[in-house]
Structure 1
Amino acid sequence: MTRRLIQLFLGLSLYGLSIALIIRADLGLDPWDVLSQGVFERFAEPAGLGFGMVVNLIGMAVLLLWIPLRQKPGIGTIANVLVIGSVAGLALRYIPADPVLPVRSLFLATGIVLNGVASGAYIGAGLGPGPRDGLMTGLVARTGWPIKAVRTAIELTVVVAGWALGGSVGVGTILYALAIGPLVQIFLPAFTVGKEDGRKTLPDREPAGPA
């Protein structure tokens, strides 16, 4: 359990850092952070709330949707809601804004890879899914719809909503969508706790991305 907890919080912290790097790259965000940025710029920033707080609040709102789906959160679920946004908000204070294009490209590439590593670490700890993953699996269980259809519908919904609110959609959004599944597939076996072979614990579905 000690290893699980250390890995969980390290993974969530690295996930928050990866979000900050992708934001500073300013080349397009992953779907859920498109929504977070749109909500931040439209509502939270004028009210004096930070971006990290918006990430946490959206996580809490998604977690409330688990109630009718009868999903049960774990330690990792609650930690996800509290840690990722807080670390992202802190990192944004120290990562320079508006860098030159080569640095922005480096930020984007590093952020996406780090996101994959962080996802493998916190999911591999086995202490509960993130709010967004739980929403997806809950909808699949309740509706019987295919996982890919549910995942695509959720991500398209949040991207469109975030873009309408002013969130950043760009090449980074596409690269993230293409890369995150394979990256998690690579790193998850290495970080899975409790099995001699991490591949035995891989889900029988394409990783949906943590968050």
Structure 2
Amino acid sequence: MSMGVSGCTIEGIEKLYPFNPHRMLRGAGRRSISPGPPPLLLLPEGYGVKKEWTMLKLLKQYMNQEMKVFRYQLVYYFFGIVLFSLGAKCFIDAQLGTDPLDVLVIGLNKHLGVGLGVCSSLIAILFLSWWMVWNRALPPMTPFVSTSAVGFLLDFWNALHVEQYTIDAMPVVNVMIYGHELNLYAVLLDVIALLVCSYASSLIIMSGIGIRIMDLVAITMIEKWGWSFFRAKMTLEIGLFSVGWLLGGPMGVTTVLFLFFVGPFIQPFMLMNATYLRIPNHGINQPHGENSTSVMH
């Protein structure tokens, strides 16, 4: 996430808001009327008003605007994190499998017994360490925050027994599908969870703050090996749920659905957010004048 503060030099502001003390109407002591940013008090040289004072006022206005935008970004980010954790909780309660990362988290917790939040943090530290060694640079901290926050929220929802308002409150309607007995309402809860996780992911991406830990490593795989994003992401996700399954994590139909459907649903939700909710996209660079929501994979 970048607020653009590092570029807020006087020279940088001048490029955005040119200050020209000679833009005067000829023969009159009035300000010129020109399009552009909020008008500055343009006075002839020697009038006694310091240019730096005007620039500092403009810098203060710019910083206030940036902080206002950043507050909205935080709202989108944390709301997305909460929604994603609720979707993951519904996956777990439906007992039809869960997303690949949580397969590993749950499997690891079966052996360590320290809680989903702590296990999520340990996995995040492992991936960040891998990224740091691979890139020889300090890793960003937002993937750690995102992964750990979802894990601790899962512990919180478990403590509140949220399942009594979801799967436990639904009737049991079993049907046979390819020789397997499935609860139709569990399948319905699974579909809802898929949509919730997709929408939550769109908010997290558009906030420009967070990125999933696997996406961070996948980007490095693209840069180092020239892989496509899909290939890198699928390799990581398959590795996650394979190790998680060996540790006793709940792999099922949801795991496969998550792999193939959450990603494609994110883009339409981003377009919906931008079009109907007027949410700006801070996470993806867009060409000027375009409302593109395509993820740069």
- Which 4+ stretches in 1 moved above 4 angstroms? 71-75, 194-199
Where does structure 2 lack aligned partners over 5 or more consecutive residues? 1-69, 173-182, 274-278
Of 99-108 and 125-134, the range deviating more from structure 2: 99-108
Is 2:184 the partner of 1:108? no
Change (3 A) 1:128 1:74: farther
Change (3 A) 1:161 1:130: same
Name the structure, 1 or 2, with higher relative contact order (CA <8 Å, separation 6+): 1
Is 2:196 the partner of 1:125? no
Percent identity over the alignment is 24
Q: Could you tell me how far 1:202 is from its partner in structure 2? A: 2.5
Structure 1 counterpart of 2:261: 179
Deviations 1:21-68 (A, max 9, x none): 101111011111111111111x222xxx11232123212221222202
Change (3 A) 1:193 1:150: closer
TM-score, normalisation: structure 2: 0.61
Superposition map of 1:74-89 within 5 A: 74=140, 76-89=142-155
Separation in 1, partners of 2:144, 2:237: 22
Structure 1 counterpart of 2:86: 17
Is 2:203 the partner of 1:134? no
Separation in 2, partners of 1:150, 1:67: 18
Separation in 1, partners of 2:188, 2:158: 16
Q: How many residues of Structure 1 are paired with residues of Structure 2 in the alignment?
A: 201
Q: Could you tell me how far 1:201 is from its partner in structure 2? A: 4.6
* Conserved 8 A contact 2:91-2:98: yes
Q: Could you tell me how far 1:96 is from its partner in structure 2? A: 2.5
Change (3 A) 1:75 1:202: farther
RMSD: 2.4
Greater share of helix: 1
Deviations 1:106-141 (A, max 9, x none): 321221111001100011101242221101101211
Where does structure 1 lack aligned partners over 5 or more consecutive residues? 206-211
Is 2:107 the partner of 1:44? no
TM-score, normalisation: structure 1: 0.84
Separation in 1, partners of 2:204, 2:138: 17
